[in-house]
Chain A
Amino acid sequence: METDKNRHIDPSALSKARFDRLSTDEKVDLFVEGYRVPQKRSKAEALELLRTKLDQKSTGKPIRNLRIYWSAAASIVLIALLTTVYFFQSTPSQIVAAKGQHLEYTLPDGSNVIINADSKISLSESSFAKQRTLNLEGEAFFSVQKGKPFVVKTHTGTVEVLGTKLNVFSRDNELSVSCLTGKVKVTSNGQSVIIEPGEKADLVSGALQKSTNIQTDHMAGWRSGEFHFDNVPLISIFEEIERQFNVEIATKGLENRFFTGSFSNKNLNEVLETVCLPMHLDYEIKNGNKIKIVPKAQ
């Protein structure tokens, strides 16, 4: 490349007669090939700066700015706490985690539930004491106290447990229940399966399917902000991102595409890149919360 540059003829070394004989294209090339991109800092300075930034990073000084997300997260947590306190004092009927929010809640029997973004549970406190039954729309993780049967009703099926830890996902036509400890009975469309730790029951085209050998830390990674997907429809991935970041994502032509991978819900741009890069997609963010997914520009 250097030698090419050196071979270049300086336009000012030309005679006027020769310059005039050149075609427009040749004149353009003559100039363009001689152009240099101006530099503010040299490459060595740039490397030095980069090393400093990497050092800061490894010693843990924050240099990433998550501005909006963190302040949004902080206010959401505050609202969530207030909501929780409010519901605790009254008779809870509905506990709702909004988009971009996770909510932890202790049920009257001491069981614990963590509700994922854009999800809600509803129960009647007075009857819950007698019969541990609640309704779930969306996704939640339950740590159930031992005792009477504990029933989670969703519109796609019913989950019945004895003392256990389990994750229930129920959105649109999907139902996915994974078991971390104990035993869980899942009933949907008149069929039942019993799952044990490391197993998962999914509703696949109306039929319950059991899969085994699932890594338990992947089952409800969302509680710690880690999302793991194993061959999940790409559209469902973008729906999860919509819920976690409270954004709207427009997609087109992604049917029949699947994604395997992980991301954390800390930074929207990173998440979008993690998903888009390997899938050969580009994204555009408009007005901060509207995202368009497009095929990589040709």
Chain B
Amino acid sequence: MRILSNKNQAETGLDQVGFEQLFDAYYDELQHFIFFKTGDTEIAEDIIQDAFLKLWEMRSSVRVETARALLYTIAANLFANRYKRMKLKLKLQQTIVEDRTFETPEFEMELKEFDQKLQRVLSGLNENNRTVFLMNRMEQMTYSEIASALNISVKAVEKRMKKALEHVRKEIEQKF
């Protein structure tokens, strides 16, 4: 069983420096990715620790070009195995409000209520749809970036985005 030929051996494998570069490049987005699934910062941070540990264990066979997708796969698997179907409540930090003067106190209330409602609606989204939606809107990842990170087709990303948008629109417009 010889997987590596001498030619691409040079491109395979990670050293400590390469490993930490990957950490630097992808830590935040991976932590966000799991957060989008769980809504729990601590779980997300723990899973990403383990994901990088796992990556280090398999460093000899890791190629830098595929490391990002690999990290997503590892993280998603770790999450799926430990925390399947967890009831979640997203607690995202809004950039608004504190120390602001609003036109009227009523308008301030309206914005805060919209914020709370939106977070509730997002929490109620199907996990996969929410994850893709937030990767696109919060992480500013393009559809093709998301597709390659999650190992799914761009078509599938579009479908999830569409479902997420429809759901959010419907829920927000209800009794508002």
Contact = CB atoms under 8 A, between A and B. Distances in A.
A206 B79 CA distance: 45
B20 A47 contact: yes
A28 B48 CA distance: 28
Residues of B contacting A: mostly: helix
B95 A37 contact: no
B115 A31 contact: yes
Contact of B35 (A37, A57, A261, A262): A37
A280 B69 CA distance: 12
Contacts of A229: 1
A127 interface: no
Q: How large is the interface on B (under 10, 10 to 19, 20 to 34, 35 or more residues)?
A: 35 or more
A31 B41 contact: no
A25 B45 CA distance: 31
Nearest to A229: B1
Contacts of A32: 118, 122, 133-134, 137-138
A35 B94 contact: yes
Interface in B36-75: 36, 41-42, 44-45, 48-49, 52-53, 56, 70, 73-74
A15 interface: yes
Nearest to B128: A297
B169 interface: yes
Interface in A3-38: 4-5, 8, 10-13, 15-16, 19, 24-25, 27-29, 31-38
A-B pairs with lowest CB-CB distance, top 7: A35-B92, A34-B95, A12-B96, A36-B93, A32-B137, A12-B100, A16-B107
A74 interface: no
Interface in B56-112: 56, 70, 73-74, 77, 80-81, 84, 91-97, 100, 102-104, 107-108, 110-111
A249 to B, nearest CB: 15
